[in-house]
A = this chain, B = another copy of it.
Amino acid sequence: MNTAIKDFTFNSRECGSCPIRHRAVCSKCEPDELDRLEEIKYYRTYEAGQPVLWAGDQMEFVASVVSGIATLSQTMEDGRTQMVGLLLPSDFIGRPGRDFAPFDVVAVSDLTVCCFRKKPFEELMGSTPSIGTRLLQMTLDELDSAREWMLVLGRKTAREKIASLLAILTRRDATLNQLTPTSGMTLDLPLTREAMADYLGLTLETVSRQISALKKAGIIVLEGKRHVIIPDFAILMAETGDDYDGGLLA
Contact = CB atoms under 8 A, between A and B. Distances in A.
Contact of A84 (B1, B127, B150): B150
Given A82-B150, A148-B74, A136 B2 contact: no
Interface in A169-209: 200-201
A29 to B, nearest CB: 18
Given A1-B127, A140-B139, A147-B146, A154 B97 contact: no
A28 interface: no
How many copies, total?
Answer: 2
A243 interface: yes
Nearest to A80: B155
Interface in A104-126: 125-126
A72 B148 CA distance: 11
Given A72-B147, A85-B147, A147-B84, A98 B140 contact: yes
A243 B127 CA distance: 40
Contacts of A231: none
A40 interface: no
A76 B242 CA distance: 7
